[in-house]
Chain A
Amino acid sequence: MSNKAMNCGQAKRLLPPFLDEELSGRMRDGASAHLASCPACRAELEALKADIGLLEQAGTPEVTPFLVTRVMAEIRGRRRPVPRGFGRLVGSLAAALVVAVSIGAGVFFGSGLAQTSTPVAANSTEAAVGYVESSTADMYSLMSGGY
């Protein structure tokens, strides 16, 4: 395992996940060590914090108080095909169990979740002229390359 110090290019690439507390182990320690000794990268980190702080400062409008009512009214108004006999019972129990577990477990399931590579049907090829669209380095390549 490499113990060489991180350079500014590597450190700057890691600033977003560092700020988001997504780095761990050697990567995090290497970034921390570099920031402790590099005023330029520290300034870059502060600038990144300022950008995010500005976003956080901008609030969002309140959701209409009628959204829940509208959702439930639409659901109740829709006709759903009802499976017959035993299938209907199983389907109802399964749906109720899913909803109950989601609420009872505090909604969120935790670890061990598989990463999916199935892309969202999004137009991600849209490009703003002059904007960064690709990056050949990321925290994973830096990790495997021993930065």
Chain B
Amino acid sequence: MAAFEELVRRHQHGLFSYLYRMCRNSSDAEEMAQAAMVKAWEKLGGFRGASSFKTWLYRIGTNLCFNLRTRRKPTEELVETMAAPDAARPEQAFQQKVCEEVVQRALARLPADQRAALVLSVYQDMSYREIAETMGKTVRAVDSLLFRAKTNLRKALAGDRAKGVI
């Protein structure tokens, strides 16, 4: 039990960060992270070590997140839940907030599987092989997903770029 708690501590930030980008909602992300870790505990006996614990755990989280999406439409969350802006540097804080909103909007426009692959690549620094293990796909499929994700990301950001927002 203590050993598993240590694993939870090690992976809580990364897993929450990933699920936040997927759910676009802190509350849902926390709920999913908790559910994923509890499910991992329940399924621990079935973990054979064919993949890393991290990719196995994130796969559980991915499936929970996708299942949640099919049950209900996720609520859009503004960036008020982010860390309080630095009062000493209001302009910088404002720019950061704008960046957050632009990124959230752009990611939200991607299909779920493209978003998952992109988030795992950019924010979790996973290799294509690790992403493939997490998503239950082949490396070739991940390559294709990321190509489409980055192409669509460019399109999603084009509007804000044209307006000079970013």
Contacts and interface: CB of A to CB of B under 8 A. Distances in A.
Contacts of B154: 47-48, 51
B113 A60 contact: no
Interface residues on B, range: 35 or more
Interface string A47-76: 110011011111111111001101110111
A99 B7 contact: yes
Contacts, number: 201
A131 B112 CA distance: 13
A122 interface: yes
Given A67-B16, A113-B51, A127-B111, A91 B153 contact: no
A123 B112 contact: yes
Given A120-B62, A128-B152, A68 B8 contact: yes
A54 B102 contact: yes
A124 B38 contact: no
Interface residues on A, range: 35 or more
Contacts of B99: 54, 57-58
A3 interface: no
B112 A16 contact: no
Interface in A115-140: 115-124, 126-128, 130-135, 138-140
A116 to B, nearest CB: 6
B7 A67 contact: no
A82 interface: no
A78 B166 CA distance: 48
Interface in B48-99: 49-54, 59, 62-63, 66-67, 69-70, 81-83, 96, 99
B83 A20 contact: no
A99 B133 CA distance: 19
A68 B8 CA distance: 6
A94 interface: yes
Given A61-B82, A124-B111, A100 B143 contact: no
B19 to A, nearest CB: 10
Contacts of A124: 111-113
Given A71-B34, A113-B50, 14 more contacts: A51-B154, A54-B102, A57-B96, A67-B8, A68-B12, A71-B38, A96-B3, A115-B129, A115-B138, A118-B136, A120-B135, A121-B67, A122-B66, A132-B148
Interface of B: 1, 3-10, 12-13, 16-17, 20-21, 26, 30, 33-34, 37-38, 41-42, 44-45, 47, 49-54, 59, 62-63, 66-67, 69-70, 81-83, 96, 99-100, 102-104, 107, 109-113, 116, 118, 121-123, 127-129, 132-133, 135-140, 143-144, 146-148, 150-155, 157, 166
